[in-house]
Structure 1
């Protein structure tokens, strides 16, 4: 009986360790996808914030922001893992390794910056409409 208990206990510990390693690999793939999709896009979105920081503090600010992104990406990885299986993440990462996938990562920040400008102009046009219906 005692031997059976130890066998089951060590088997459970082994599976738990394997599961944690598998989860870590799965999460690493999610983080990799986030870095591919978001890395340069975050640079575009942070550009206005960096402009608000004093010139002499910008390098330190950027460094601190980059360090905080590790935690952000870890949290976002959980969201990706809720939406995509590990096999699906593999397929998406395979796409980003193709020439068109690589082009998409290069073009996405440009698209994001232009989209933000268009969105801001659209938002300004909504202000009169909002005023009309707020009365």
Structure 2
């Protein structure tokens, strides 16, 4: 009887672990879909800092570093979104408007960063006023 109970417990733990792994992978897929297109836009200023002959190698290394980052971010997402939430969000990104959102996000990010930089420059006199 103890053996049967132990086997059942082992199987349940195994299935729970598999489910958690699947959930985490789906969450990583979500992060990849939502953050991946923006990645090139965000890293471009860093890439521009290195000599041109090293830029592709830097991009490759930066992209490789994303695996660990996405794994850590998945834990954060999983604190806020259930597996059902992740499934629903992934389903949205399969719709025409979801696909459009993904394709348009890099350009929106680029323009938003430019606006944010200009806004930050406009804030400098205001911050200086209150720093005295």
Q: What are structure 1's unaligned runs of at least 5 residues?
A: none
CA-atom RMSD in angstroms: 0.8
CA displacement 1:58-115 (0-9 Å, x = unmatched): 1211111111101101111111111100001111111000000000000111111100
Partner residue, 1:90: 87
1:43 correspondence with 2:46: no
TM-score with structure 1 setting the length? 0.94
CA distance in 1 between partners of 2:9 and 2:54 (Å): 51
Q: What are structure 2's unaligned runs of at least 5 residues?
A: none
- 1:52 is paired with a residue whose SS is coil
Count of matched residue pairs: 132
CA distance in 2 between partners of 1:76 and 1:37 (Å): 12
Matches within 5 A, 1:1-135: 4-135=1-132
CA distance in 1 between partners of 2:7 and 2:51 (Å): 57
Q: Which moved more, 1:4-13 or 1:119-128?
A: 4-13
What's the offset of the Cα at 1:12? 1.3
TM-score with structure 2 setting the length? 0.97
Structure 1 residue ranges, 4+ long, deviating more than 2 angstroms after superposition: none
